[in-house]
A = this chain, B = another copy of it.
Amino acid sequence: MHIGFIGLGQMGSAIAANLVKTGHDVKVWNRSPEKAAPLVAAGATLAASPADAASGEVVLTMLADDMAVEAVTFGEDGILAAPNKPIHVSLSTISFALAEKLTAAHAEASGSFVAAPVFGRPAAAAAAKLFVVAAGPAQALAACTPLFEAIGQKTFPLGHTPSAATIVKLSGNFLILSVIESLAEAMTLAEKHGVEKAALLEILTGTLFGAPIYQVYGKILVDQSFRPAGFAAPLGLKDMNLVAAAATDARVPMPVLSLLRDRLLATIAREGDDIDWSGIARTVADNAGPAS
């Protein structure tokens, strides 16, 4: 398939590489073009602009925030300026409001928009083991199926309203961070009472909590491996702010979410921007005093 890929950060580069590897004809674009070099070396083409990247059947975006997605879509030489009306697939986490705006804009331009946010950290992206939650027009979803298969281990189709996929992704990220927070609280309690974090984790994952999320983040918490960040705290904060915007819109009080946002603020203020979002565990522990 002739496709485009915009956004070559840690996640985007890994995903795009899998698309190239699967044999697709991929035009890549990134604001800082030097990041495209390894992909071009692997067989991708360098696009001259987002519009150029959008000259195939499908263009995928994997960008840091709403502003970046808006820039490559609505900006000069943006996706909407491509004459061929491609399917625009947004893999990154965007706001509920932007999902609705993109749906409307592409429909008006006779193109189509698919929200297909992914679950997984950089290692899962590299291993093509992401989970894809996809919503959009049936025909567009069908057309994208081989792409999703190239980058993930499973795709969850969620109907024809793109913003539904956005809500699921935001909910998922909220739930991940809430697991980290509560696990950190429990581990701090256990440790202060003489039970090692690793021992607690082993029992949890061996009983009722045997899910990847407890295994992956539990190990990070036990090892305190918060740097380098797989998903930096400021990105986590951005996502939690998107959840909060959707919650405010719908008048849903989410006190755990509120707590997580304050926790991220504290963690960023105390530790800096380069810590992983799971670094909130350090703030949890610090608030229980010096390690004994």
Q: Which residues of B are found within 8 Å of A189, using beta-carbon distances?
A: 167, 170-171, 243, 246-247, 250, 252, 254
| Interface hit among A23-31, A106-114, A141-149, A211-219 | A211-219
Instruction: State how many angstroms separate the Cβ of A243 from the closest Cβ of chain B.
Output: 7
265-292 of chain A: CB within 8 A of chain B:
265-266, 268-270, 283, 286-290
118-152 of chain A: CB within 8 A of chain B:
119, 131, 133
Instruction: State how many angstroms separate the Cβ of A203 from the closest Cβ of chain B.
Output: 5
Residues A255 and B250 in contact, CB atoms below 8 Å apart: no
Instruction: State how many angstroms separate the Cβ of A158 from the closest Cβ of chain B.
Output: 7
A210 interface residue per 8 A CB criterion: yes
Residues A133 and B203 in contact, CB atoms below 8 Å apart: yes
Contact of A251 (CB < 8 Å), options: B161, B183, B268: B268
Residues A193 and B246 in contact, CB atoms below 8 Å apart: yes
A257 interface residue per 8 A CB criterion: yes
A192 interface residue per 8 A CB criterion: yes
Q: Which residues of B are found within 8 Å of A259, using beta-carbon distances?
A: 255-256, 258-259
Q: Which residues of B are found within 8 Å of A203, using beta-carbon distances?
A: 131, 133, 156, 158, 168, 172
Residues B262 and A208 in contact, CB atoms below 8 Å apart: no
Q: Which residues of B are found within 8 Å of A269, using beta-carbon distances?
A: 251-253, 287-289
Nearest neighbor of A152 in chain B, beta-carbon distance: B207
183-211 of chain A: CB within 8 A of chain B:
183, 185-186, 188-190, 192-195, 199-200, 202-204, 206-211
A5 interface residue per 8 A CB criterion: no
Q: Which residues of B are found within 8 Å of A262, using beta-carbon distances?
A: 253-255, 258
Q: Which residues of B are found within 8 Å of A204, using beta-carbon distances?
A: 171-172, 175
Contact of A258 (CB < 8 Å), options: B156, B243, B258: B258
Q: Which residues of B are found within 8 Å of A154, using beta-carbon distances?
A: 206-207
Q: Which residues of B are found within 8 Å of A261, using beta-carbon distances?
A: 248, 258
Question: In the bound complex, what is the Cα–Cα distance between A168 and B189 (angstroms)?
Answer: 9
Instruction: State how many angstroms separate the Cβ of A47 from the closest Cβ of chain B.
Output: 31
Question: In the bound complex, what is the Cα–Cα distance between A170 and B187 (angstroms)?
Answer: 11
Q: Which residues of B are found within 8 Å of A190, using beta-carbon distances?
A: 167-168, 171
A239 interface residue per 8 A CB criterion: no
A84 interface residue per 8 A CB criterion: no
Question: In the bound complex, what is the Cα–Cα distance between A176 and B248 (angstroms)?
Answer: 21
Residues B193 and A183 in contact, CB atoms below 8 Å apart: no
Question: In the bound complex, what is the Cα–Cα distance between A266 and B247 (angstroms)?
Answer: 11
Contact of A164 (CB < 8 Å), options: B174, B193, B241, B254: B193
Residues B156 and A206 in contact, CB atoms below 8 Å apart: yes
- In the complex, besides A175-B204, A241-B248, 13 extra interface pairs with C-beta distance below 8 angstroms are A154-B207, A167-B195, A168-B203, A171-B200, A178-B178, A185-B254, A189-B243, A247-B265, A251-B266, A255-B259, A258-B261, A269-B287, A270-B290
